[in-house]
Each structure stands twice: as structure tokens, then as C-alpha cells.
């Protein structure tokens, strides 16, 4: 007997452009998992700046039409015949999907799906992948820091910044973070930062530099969320041998290269999508350590229904005053 086709609500993008190109359809067929794939009923989905760049057509350019999103969290509905790690009913989160995560159901390859521990809810599950894998890779793999080093999370109040603060604190770093509102400054201090600075204040970089915790030697590592604005100033507050890890940038910036040779300092770019299979394994092991011991606790900020996808994309780029991770709740 032929199986009955089921339909779902999902965001579809048929042309690249402004947020309004994201349309909520109600008649998208529920996808079927192939042999090594998992079908997930999505309960929450992370909203990441990356999805806005892809939708605008400036990065990656998937084949149209497509459903955005990589970071889903929910319950396994069906598994392909070769899937060994998951069964129907398992709580899971993804770091990538095949059919898109801004949808009621998504299909993902088994190797991009992870069990969601009981202590985290679905919204938190949707806030793990891009933020925490990025935080771990930037700090532990690329920055090559050691416990006791001073890390500045430059842009600490958003999804990735909070993750960076938690990872840095858990691994024994001294942690400074920046935000632009009183609420953001309080949140980052509750999530790992020893000290918080307001990046809208004119002299905040001087305050960081002269801070007692910086010990007059400067900042060892800067995890930078907005390099096009901050890179030149970052180089001036680094310690000898200091590193800026560029995580986010939205344009060009002028720097004085001499600022690097004065101090043997480095600027290092980090793109999570370049991670290898072995990198993913190492990162996941570290993050499970955090989930099991309790330091990995995503902070959820604004929540949206799927129909507000265009608004969510505007807010994540244009609105300041971040308070944690933006998510869709389905």
C-alpha cells in the first residue's frame, strides 16, 4: 500500500534577498530519511546571523528553493535502516540538516545529530551547535590559550558571546566581556565573565587596558564578534604574543600592521564550517563534558514563532541590546 503523504509548516526561500523572501508555507511535504538519516520533529530552532547572510545571497548560495537553518532540536520521529545511534522518541539536537531547520520536521545525517541531555530543554538544545562549537574551536583550538590567560569576549551578550564566556570560564581563563545595555552586562557576568564593559562607552577599551586584571600586560586573547569595527583597537590592547580570533565581521577595516609586529601578535580567522570530522568529534566530546558537568547552559533570549522569521532576521542584524540566543519555538 502506498504511504500517505504528510505536510508540514516550513519556511521556504525562492529568491535571495531581504528578510521578506522567507515565506511560511503550510503544504511542504514532510521529508523522508534515507538509510543513514534521521527525521526529527522540531520543537525549537536556533536563529543565527549566518542564515541572514545566506538568505541575502552573499554566502554559500544554496540551490533554490530552500529552507534555512542548521540548529534544530526536537524528537526523533523515524530513522533510516543504517542508523545505529538513534531511535524513535530520542531527544536530539543537530549541527546541520539536509532539508532545513526552520520547519516542523527536518531530516539530518546521523553524524550531525547529537543526543540532548535531560537537563537541557529544547530551546537550549537549539542554542548549542553554532554558538558552542564556535566558542570551543575559537578558544581551545585556534587561540591556544592556557588557564589563567585573560580573554576578552568582544560582543559577549549574543548567542555566540555567551557561549564563549561559559567555555572560557570553564577552562580556567580570566574572562572579560562586552555588551551595550545594563541587562546585557549583568547577563554576561552571570554567564562566566569576571568583568563586563559597555562597548557603547567611548573609553571602554582604555578601561579594559588599565584594568587590574589585565595586569598592565594587556589582553592575551580577544574573541571578536565585530572585527570590522574593533580590529584596529583590539591590536592596541593585546599583550605580547596576543591573538585576536576573528569570529564575526561585517565589512572592511583599516589596521596598522605595525601594531602586530610591536608585540608578536596575530590575527587569526576562524570559520566553523571548515571543521573536519575529527574536529567535530573533539568539539562534541568537550561540549558533552560541559553539558554533563553543568557549565554548558545556553541562555535563551528573544523567542519567535516561525511566521515571524522575517522579523527575527531583521532583529538579529539590526537590533542592539542582545540578551542571549534567539530561537524559534514551534
Q: Which residues bind ligand NAP (CB under 6 A)?
A: 48-50, 130, 134, 154-161, 178-181, 184, 199, 225-226, 229-230, 247-248, 270-272, 316, 320-322
Quick one: 204 or 288, whose CB is closer to ligand NAP? 204
Give the integer Cα–Cα distance in Å for 164 and 313: 22
Quick one: 79 or 164, whose CB is closer to ligand NAP? 164
Shortest CB 245 distance to ligand NAP, Å: 9
Contacts of 108 (CB under 8 A, 6+ apart): 37, 38, 40, 72, 94, 96, 97, 98
Each as own residue / partner, the long-range contacts of residues 197-206 (CB below 8 Å, 24 or more positions apart, any chain) are 199/154, 199/155, 199/230, 204/178, 205/233, 205/236, 205/237
Alpha helices by DSSP H, the chain: 49-56, 122-125, 134-136, 159-170, 182-190, 204-210, 227-237, 258-261, 277-293, 309-318
Give CA torsion, residues 55, 58, 62, 66, to 10 deg: 10
Shortest CB 255 distance to ligand NAP, Å: 16
Quick one: 33 or 248, whose CB is closer to ligand NAP? 248
Quick one: 29 or 271, whose CB is closer to ligand NAP? 271
278: cell is 575529527
Quick one: 38 or 193, whose CB is closer to ligand NAP? 193
Shortest CB 232 distance to ligand NAP, Å: 12
Quick one: 157 or 191, whose CB is closer to ligand NAP? 157
Shortest CB 97 distance to ligand NAP, Å: 17
Parallel, antiparallel, or unpaired for β 300-304 and 266-269? unpaired
Shortest CB 208 distance to ligand NAP, Å: 12
Give the integer Cα–Cα distance in Å for 143 and 266: 10
Shortest CB 153 distance to ligand NAP, Å: 9
Shortest CB 53 distance to ligand NAP, Å: 7
Quick one: 55 or 199, whose CB is closer to ligand NAP? 199
Helix (H, G, I), strand (E, B) or coil at 103: strand
Closest CA to 132 of 164, 158, 101, 154: 164
Amino acid at each position: 500500500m502506498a504511504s500517505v503523504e504528510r505536510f508540514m509548516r516550513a519556511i521556504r526561500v525562492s529568491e535571495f534577498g531581504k528578510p521578506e523572501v522567507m515565506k511560511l508555507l503550510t503544504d511542504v511535504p514532510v521529508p523522508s530519511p534515507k538509510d543513514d538519516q534521521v527525521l526529527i520533529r522540531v520543537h525549537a530552532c536556533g536563529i543565527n546571523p549566518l542564515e541572514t547572510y545566506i538568505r541575502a545571497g552573499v554566502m554559500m548560495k544554496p540551490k533554490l528553493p530552500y529552507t534555512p537553518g542548521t540548529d534544530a532540536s526536537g524528537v526523533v520521529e523515524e530513522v533510516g535502516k543504517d542508523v545505529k545511534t538513534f531511535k524513535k522518541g530520542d531527544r536530539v539536537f543537530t549541527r546541520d540538516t539536509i532539508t532545513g531547520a526552520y520547519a516542523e520536521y527536518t531530516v539530518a545525517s546521523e553524524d550531525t545529530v547529537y543526543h540532548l541531555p535531560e537537563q537541557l530543554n529544547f530551546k537550549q538544545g537549539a542554542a548549542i551547535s553554532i554558538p558552542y562549537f564556535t566558542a570551543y574551536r575559537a578558544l581551545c583550538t585556534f587561540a591556544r590559550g592556557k588557564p589563567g590567560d585573560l580573554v576578552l569576549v568582544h560582543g559577549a551578550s549574543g548567542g555566540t558571546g555567551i557561549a564563549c564566556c561559559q567555555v572560557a570560564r570553564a577552562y580556567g581563563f580570566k574572562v572579560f566581556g562586552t555588551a551595550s545595555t545594563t541587562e546585557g552586562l549583568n547577563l554576561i557576568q552571570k554567564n562566566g565573565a569576571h568583568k563586563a564593559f559597555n562597548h557603547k562607552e567611548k573609553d571602554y577599551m582604555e578601561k579594559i587596558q588599565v584594568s587590574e586584571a589585565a595586569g598592565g600586560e594587556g589582553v592575551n586573547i580577544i574573541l571578536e564578534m565585530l572585527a570590522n569595527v574593533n580590529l584596529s583597537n583590539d591590536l592596541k590592547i593585546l599583550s605580547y604574543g596576543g591573538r585576536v580570533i576573528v569570529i564575526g565581521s561585517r565589512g572592511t577595516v583599516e589596521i596598522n600592521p605595525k601594531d602586530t609586529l610591536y608585540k608578536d601578535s596575530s590575527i587569526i580567522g576562524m570559520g566553523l564550517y571548515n571543521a573536519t570530522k575529527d574536529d567535530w568529534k573533539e568539539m562534541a566530546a568537550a561540549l558533552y563534558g560541559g553539558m554533563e558537568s553543568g557549565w554548558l547552559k545556553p541562555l535563551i533570549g528573544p523567542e519567535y514563532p516561525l511566521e515571524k522569521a522575517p522579523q527575527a532576521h531583521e532583529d538579529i542584524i539590526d537590533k542592539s541590546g542582545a540578551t542571549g540566543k534567539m530561537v524559534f519555538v514551534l
